[in-house]
Every structure is written in C-alpha cells, then in structure tokens.
C-alpha cells in the first residue's frame, strides 16, 4: 500500500465512507482507515433513518432496510399509552452494520482504498500536508502522508487537539442492547424520571423477533437501561440473549469550528447530530457531502488553508445550527417536566386537534417547527402549565 495520498479519511462510519466515495469519484487518491477490523462493528446506533435521506442521497443502499416505521407508542410514567402515527412512511429501520459495510463498499468501488484494523495515533500538519502515524492490529506502526485529512472518528476526540480543534462540549450518555420479543411489533418510546430522566428510552423492532432497546440520559444510562429491561414495562415481553449493553456518548451541540488547515471534521466528530433524539446519520451525510465538495474545490484551486475550508463550516452550520439551537431549547424544557406533567403531555397527544397539529408540522429529520408548534399550542400549554 502506498503511503502518500491526496486525502486520508479517518473512520469508516456512514459520514466517513460517504465522503470517501464522493472524493474518489472525483478522481482523488483516497485512503479510508478504520480502527476496527470489521466495518460496522461494534454497532452503537439504533439504525432509524428518515426517508428524506434516501430522497436526498439517492445512491444510499436500500437492501439493508429491515422495516418501515409505521407508528410509535408513547408510554407515560404512569403507563398511559398513546399510539402516534406521525412518522408513518417517513422513516425506516436499518441493519446498521450492513449499512456501514455497504457504504464502505461504495467507497472502494469508487476507487478509495479501505484499510481496516488501522488506528490513527497522531496527526501532524506541515505546509505541504499532514503526517499520519498509524498502528495496525498486528502491532506494526507506519507513517503515512496525505495532503488533507477528514476526521470522521465519531465520538473519539483524541485527534482533535492535535489539529487545533476543540471537541463538542455537550453530550448525552446512550446505552443500548438487543433482545428477543414476539410481543412488540411497533416502536415504543418511554418517558419518566425513573426511566430516562430528562430524556427518553425506546424499543425498536428490528425484524425476525429482535428488539433494540436503549436509553439516553445525562448520567447512568446503562443503569437505567438495566432497570427498564427488568422492570414492568418490558420484563414479561422480552427474552435477554447474549448481546452486551453498548455504551457511548452522543454529542448534542455543534462544534465551535470543524476546520483547520488541511483538516475537516464530519459526523459525530463535528457534532452534526439532532439534539432532540441523538440521531446523526442524516446530518452526518449532509456534512460528508459538503466536506467532499469543499475538498474537490480545494484540490482544483490548490488552496488548503483554514480560510478557504471555512466555507464548509459555514454551509453545514447554516443548514443545521437553527435545528440544533431549537432542539436544545426543546430538550431543556423537557428536562424540567415532572412525571405528572409528562403524564399529561402523553395524554394530550391523544387529543385529535393536537394530533392534527403535530402531524401537520412533524418532520422526522427537522424538529424545530414541531418543537415550536407543540410547545406553543394552547391545548398543550394548558395541560403542562
């Protein structure tokens, strides 16, 4: 393998692989490195993706879709259950590991070189490019060189300070596992101070009797997940297998800057995530596409300094910053609801006029209008306050 490249993409998740695909299609020499030996493993994400992602990025793989999202049951702290068909036909459940692997396959088909089992230890910028220190799974170390680097390392931020960038500063904790169930065939969302304080928990059918159950919280997410699995909501509906609980951070704030000389950040590494739900696939793909277009222009003009690359930072924040800001407001308001208010909140969702209001404004990927319309609805406001 050559040790000199136009671009090195660090991380073969969806945003890294998609950026690598677009750059390789533009004729650039692209190295895509992944520290794990198998792309897509371990899986941390539930794997729900809005239909808009497929509409905007028409080359995304479809054979990894396991089911369509039909409706979601919202379950209040006291056990009130309301079925909400707001996103019917607007989202799908993916086999997330196969999705990642298919995107990495797209990159290699386009001409990128994929190197799994390769951990980037160091990045050092100089006037001509970036020197990259890597360690292979065998223990062998090597020094590579690329004219530019995309960091798509998810919530691993150890490379950020090496390239003069500061990681996202707000996070949630996420814990998830997979169990077996023949009784839950639609998405269920659980709220309550004893379930996921300030946030929510979920159960998502993944086909063939499998169920992905997870929790996000400001602290102790894995502990809350264990309580949910053994508690009255789920214990009689599921069978625990051998799947371990996967834990990870979820950034819920955009990064201050996603560019420095010769370096761009995409995906979770840049905080391109919905602060309401923690979902990041679609926003990360948006970032990847914009990053690739920016670097294609950079190579055409031979301009790799921060000032030129800043257009990427400006473009994705213009698209996503308003959503991030309003989403954080909605989350902050939600965090202060008592269980009694959450009971009333769930109950009011069964009101026909409220349901019509939400359906009119609901968008699976863009939540600001939903947050504004819901919190300013007189019917909702009177129930909560």
Contact 256, 245 (CB under 8 A): no
What integer is the mean pLDDT of 86-110?
91
Check residue 179 and give its pLDDT. 95
**Residue 355, CA distances (Å) to 92, 178, 345, 370 in order:** 22, 31, 12, 11
Q: The tokens of 312 are what?
A: 């990427």
- Looking at residue 363, its pLDDT comes to 64
Name the band, by pLDDT with cuts 50, 70 and 90, for residue 220: very high
Given a cut of 90, whether residue 34 has pLDDT beyond it is yes
pLDDT at site 300: 97
Average pLDDT of the segment spanning 220-228: 95
Spatial separation of the C-alpha atoms in residues 75 and 125, rounded to whole Å: 51
User: Which of 45-49, 62-66, 293-297 has the largest mean confidence?
Assistant: 293-297
- What pLDDT is recorded for position 333? 78
Instruction: Assess contact for 259 and 309: CB atoms under 8 A.
Output: yes
When pLDDT is averaged across residues 26-50 and rounded to a whole number, the result is: 90
Look at the pTM and tell me if it is higher than 0.85: yes
Pairing of strands 30-34, 4-10: parallel
> In this structure, what are the phi and psi dihedrals at residue 215, rounded to the nearest 5 degrees?
-140, 140
> Quick one: pLDDT at residue 331?
78
Cβ-contact 166, 199 below 8 angstroms: no
What is the sign, positive or negative, of the torsion defined by CA atoms of 83, 85, 87, 90?
Answer: positive
Percent of the chain with pLDDT over 90: 62
Q: What would the DSSP string read from start to end of 47-86?
A: -EEEHHHHHH-TTS--TTEEEE---EEEE-TT--EEEE-T
Question: Does 384 score more than 70 pLDDT?
Answer: no
Q: In what order do the strands lie in the sheet with 201-207?
A: 81-84, 72-75, 187-190, 201-207, 210-217, 171-180, 246-251
**pLDDT-based confidence at residue 366 (cuts at 50, 70, 90):** low
pLDDT tier, 151 (very low <50, low <70, confident <90, very high otherwise): very high
Residue, of 296 and 377, whose pLDDT is higher: 296
pLDDT at 381 over 60: no
State whether the Cα torsion 69-74-75-80 is positive or negative: negative
pLDDT confidence of residue 321: 81
- Residue 17 is classified by DSSP as H
CA-only gyration radius of the chain, Å? 21
- Are the C-beta atoms of residues 228 and 200 closer than 8 Å to each other? no
Q: What is the pLDDT of residue 370?
A: 64
Higher pLDDT, 117 or 333: 117
Residue 275: count of CB within 10 angstroms of its CB: 25
Range with lowest mean pLDDT among 10-19, 60-69, 96-105: 60-69
159: Cα separation from own chain's centroid: 19
DSSP letter, residue 219: S
Mean pLDDT throughout 158-176?
92
Bridge partners (DSSP) of residue 123 are 132
Residue 379's pLDDT band (cuts 50, 70, 90)? low
Confidence of residue 382 (pLDDT cuts 50, 70, 90): low
Q: What integer is the mean pLDDT of 362-384? A: 61
CB atoms inside a 10 Å sphere around CB 23:
29
Q: What angle do CA 267, 102, 129 make, to 5 degrees?
A: 50
DSSP per-residue codes, 118-186 = EEEEEEEEETTEEEEEEEETTS-EEEEEEEEEEE--TT--TTGGGGT----S-EEEEEEEEEE-SS--S
What is d(CA 272, CA 327) in angstroms, rounded to the nearest whole number?
Answer: 13
pLDDT at 212 over 60: yes
- pLDDT, average across residues 28-52: 89
Lowest-confidence segment of 155-164, 251-260, 297-306 by average pLDDT: 251-260
Is a pLDDT exceeding 70 seen at residue 188?
yes
For the segment 16-42, the average pLDDT, to the nearest whole number, is 96
The answer to whether the Cα torsion of 20, 313, 258, 331 is positive or negative is negative
Establish whether the linkage from the previous residue to 42 is cis, with ω within 30° of 0: yes
**Given a cut of 80, is residue 273 above it in pLDDT?**
yes
Q: Is the pLDDT of residue 294 over 90?
A: yes
In the structure encoding, which two tokens stand for residue 340, read together? 């009694």
The pLDDT tens digits for 231-248 are 999 999 999 987 889 998
- Residues 6 or more apart whose CB falls under 8 angstroms from that of 92 comprise 48, 49, 51, 54, 65, 66, 67, 68, 69
Cα gap 361→200, rounded to integer Å: 21
Assign 3 a pLDDT band (cuts: 50, 70, 90).
confident
């Amino acid at each position: 393998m050559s040790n000199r490249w136009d671009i090195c993409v660090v991380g073969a998740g969806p945003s890294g692989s998609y950026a690598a695909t677009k750059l390789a299609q533009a004729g650039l020499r692209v190295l895509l490195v992944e520290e794990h030996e198998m792309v897509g493993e371990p899986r941390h994400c539930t794997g729900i993706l809005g239909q808009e992602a497929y509409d905007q990025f028409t080359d995304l793989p479809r054979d990894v879709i396991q089911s369509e999202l039909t409706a979601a049951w919202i379950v209040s702290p006291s056990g009130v259950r309301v079925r909400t068909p707001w996103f019917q036909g607007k989202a799908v459940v993916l086999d997330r590991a196969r999705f990642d692997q298919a995107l990495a396959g797209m990159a290699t088909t386009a001409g990128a070189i994929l190197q799994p089992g390769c951990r980037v230890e160091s990045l050092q910028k100089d006037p001509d490019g970036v020197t990259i220190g890597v360690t292979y799974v065998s223990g062998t170390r090597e020094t590579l060189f690329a004219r530019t680097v995309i960091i798509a390392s998810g919530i691993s931020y150890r490379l950020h300070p090496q390239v003069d960038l500061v990681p996202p500063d707000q996070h949630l904790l996420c814990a998830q596992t997979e169990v077996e169930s023949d009784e839950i065939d639609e998405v269920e969302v659980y709220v309550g101070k004893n379930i996921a304080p300030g946030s929510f928990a979920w159960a998502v059918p993944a086909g063939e009797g499998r169920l992905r159950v997870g929790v996000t919280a400001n602290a102790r997410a894995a502990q809350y997940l264990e309580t949910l699995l053994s508690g009255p909501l789920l214990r009689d509906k599921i069978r625990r297998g051998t799947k371990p609980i996967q834990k990870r951070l979820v950034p819920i704030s955009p990064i201050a800057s996603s560019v420095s000389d010769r370096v761009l950040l995409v995906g979770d590494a840049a905080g391109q995530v919905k602060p309401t739900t923690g979902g990041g696939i679609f926003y990360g793909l948006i970032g990847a596409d914009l990053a690739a277009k920016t670097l294609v222009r950079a190579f055409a003009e031979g301009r790799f300094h921060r000032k030129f690359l800043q257009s990427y930072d400006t473009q994705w924040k213009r698209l996503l910053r308003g959503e991030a800001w309003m989403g954080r407001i909605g989350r902050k308001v939600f965090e202060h609801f008592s269980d009694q208010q959450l009971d009333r909140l769930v109950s009011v969702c069964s009101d026909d006029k409220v349901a019509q209001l939400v359906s009119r404004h609901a968008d699976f990927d863009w939540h600001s209008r939903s947050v504004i319309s819901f919190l300013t609805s007189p019917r909702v406001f009177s129930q909560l306050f």
